[in-house]
Structure 1
Amino acid sequence: EASEKICRYAFDYAKNNGRKKVTAVHKANIMKYTDGLFLEAFREVAKEYPEIEPQEVIVDNMCMQLVIRPETFDVLVAPNLYGDIVSDLCAGLVGGLGFAPSGNIGDEYRIYEAVHGSAPDIAGKGIANPSALLLAFVLMLEALGKLDDANRLKAALAVVVEEGVTITPDIGGNASTEEFTAAIIRKLG
């Protein structure tokens, strides 16, 4: 039931966001029962979405393929363990965990957060990169149908990072969290 539910969410997400392919990440060659069940659910759900290409990739190969040619993938769906591994790898491809938002989507509730957690080693120093948290807010705005606001925030963040003038130490700058955030707010104005 849980595998079917997450696969259906992935295909619905793809359909609702103009995506063309959903890739199941698994290790069914070794984990024959658990991942086999996951793939069975994926295949059954995929039949209901003929306009979306289903793809199956073993997790170790997926990690290599994401490094070599990430542009060939669109929506990924995986059991929790592989999702944790692949999401950190993908975060590395875009600049690190400081740029990785997360959404925990349930039937009744949703929690949006930065993937990286609390970063206690830099707590109180004013040097944390707030990008992941801001991007999690973007995900929430999108889910609420506030696409213009989401796009404005995403664009403002991208401009500040691309300019490279007021950025936090983790991405090569010397700005504080507050200075970085203020620069984004100015771009929103």
Structure 2
Amino acid sequence: MLFLISPYSRKLSDGLFLETSKRIAKEYPEIEHNEMIIDNCCMQLVSNPHQFDVMLMTNLYGSIVSNVCCGLIGGAGLLSGRNYGDHYAIFEPATRNTGKAIAGKNVANPIAMLNAGIDMLHHLGHVQHADLITKAMVKTICEDKIHTPDLGGTAKSTDVIQNIIDYILTVDVRP
């Protein structure tokens, strides 16, 4: 597990975050834990992303890192974000772009929102449903090459969703 910090510019908040993280990490000695400054993390994400497994960070750094990751894989319209609390969880698109420039044009990439729904289904234990939607999504993007403009395609948002629905309707999900 990697703790992301910026102790030089945010001494109090990051200091408390790091201190608390280290204290809790001692309760789980079987889990390796390290710390990395956020600036270096962003550079490492671009140059060697496969070195990372689990990262723990504040909301501010989570926004920065999720935007870097979205850029690495093709855009903000693909990844979802997860926020876990003691009793509740929130699933959302990874970036919080308001999309005003494309509002009403039917060109927004729906994949990030679908991924958020898939994350929620997994969290609720509906793995079969999550896997079915994932398969339909992968088929749509990778095999059928139905891409919205942010991915270099010409498909509309509704084209992507309709292709996913069409695939799901062809699958026999009976046990």
The alignment status of 1:137 with 2:129, answered yes or no, reads: no
Question: How many residue pairs are counted as aligned between the two chains?
Answer: 168
Match of 1:63 among 42, 63, 69: 42
- Secondary structure, counterpart of 2:33 in structure 1: strand
Which residue identity is paired with 2:131?
N
Supply the RMSD in Å over aligned alpha carbons: 1.7
The equivalent residue for 2:161 is: 181
How far apart, CA to CA, are the structure 1 residues paired with 2:16 and 2:89? 26
How far apart, CA to CA, are the structure 1 residues paired with 2:120 and 2:127? 10
The equivalent residue for 2:129 is: 149
How far apart, CA to CA, are the structure 2 residues paired with 1:130 and 1:116? 13
The alignment status of 1:83 with 2:62, answered yes or no, reads: yes
| 1:10-68, Cα deviation, whole Å (9 max, x unpaired) | xxxxxxxxxxxx11000124433321221111111112222221111110000000001
Q: Could you tell me how far 1:73 is from its partner in structure 2? A: 0.4
The alignment status of 1:26 with 2:9, answered yes or no, reads: no
Q: TM-score, normalised by structure 1?
A: 0.81
Q: Pairwise mapping of residues 4-15 of structure 1 onto structure 2 (< 5 A)? A: none
How far apart, CA to CA, are the structure 1 residues paired with 2:106 and 2:13? 44
- Could you list the runs of 5+ residues in structure 2 that have no partner in the other structure? 171-175
Match of 1:121 among 92, 95, 101: 101
- Secondary structure, counterpart of 2:18 in structure 1: helix
The alpha-carbon distance between structure 1 residues 57 and 164, as it changes in their structure 2 partners (threshold 3 A), is: farther
Note if contact 1:164-1:173 (Cα within 8 Å) is conserved in structure 2. Answer: no
How far apart, CA to CA, are the structure 1 residues paired with 2:35 and 2:48? 16
Which residue identity is paired with 2:157?
T
- Secondary structure, counterpart of 2:105 in structure 1: coil
